[in-house]
Structure 1
């Protein structure tokens, strides 16, 4: 059985490798992470091994753990795979038992859209939409497709955060997600497939247009690592994810 401390360490490590754009040219500093978290290097290495098994980082024998950088081809493949899973994974029998929760996700997406009208903070906008997307995946999909979708979200999180540099991207997505959830709740899966296609096309275009922003972030991470003398890269984020659009919460805040 995994201890609470092991689970806690993994959550820290997972947030660290998925939220930050890290250098892919040098190994992740295990001891620096252990010092920052306040544990020995053993649970940190175990957490990094687990992260590598989930495809979040790479492990190279006798060299250590390395961050992954994503090519444009990687992003296109992630979008294509997400689309296929999101379409094939829709199961009417499963959805029937989760009707109330699905409606609640749709209401949250609509509240998110309204909140975006009042907020110019692009970082908050990204996290609000991220919460809706993940909640939709957890609510509308059975275990296996849900796991695959969430894994892709984790693998592309740092990339998507970097290219989502303005709130307009989130503002455009919010009504699309609300419409998709409404169609799923009504069991209009034919319409839902069309909405999924529209969302993927919207994101694919945005990711392609702004990929250079991510490439520049990777280059900055490499330069910083080269000049850092092996200190820890990035920011070790709090385990708590952003408390995004909840009922009665019109101005949710991100927590790090």
Structure 2
């Protein structure tokens, strides 16, 4: 059996402030965390053929898009104050935590990975905020009853982008505001985005001490006819 994610995260990851975001602490992986034990099915002799492939442990690190979106929210709390907020593809929960800290009336975090779900709950508790976690892919259906959608690092592949864009279009059609955080990855639909702010923050996968490049916070706009 795979380890219990809650116990594993508490025992093997470090609760540390996020670089460029000291207001928020996350359980973060380090070289001695042994994350492979949690996510690699080859390490479990009783795995069966129909066991779902584990998601990459993106929830174990602060990514640039989520970091800048969280930074923007904390710098502009009026964007979320008193509003119902969806953190789409929440990962570690960093964006939803920022929204809750900035005064959102309610935060819903959508995350499909069981380990990510555990991390969101632990990270929210560590930061003293409440987040409702939805453990399923919500992009195939209508938007939940919220006022604002926050999407950090959701354009990391063409496959995901093709699934996310129609959902965000349904959000716009329902009158919801959509903000995106991303370090300008290749599948980012720049023609649909209006730049609101830029921050220079580290991204997952960059060499330690690397200068990095500016990452943007954008408003997702309706397609021009």
TM range (shorter): under 0.3
**Superposition TM-score, scaled by structure 2 size:** 0.27
Give the TM-score normalised by structure 1. Answer: 0.25
Looking at secondary structure, tell me which structure has more helix per residue: 1
Q: Select the structure that is richer in strand.
A: 2
The structure whose Rg is larger is 1
- Greater relative CO (CA pairs within 8 A, separation 6+): 1
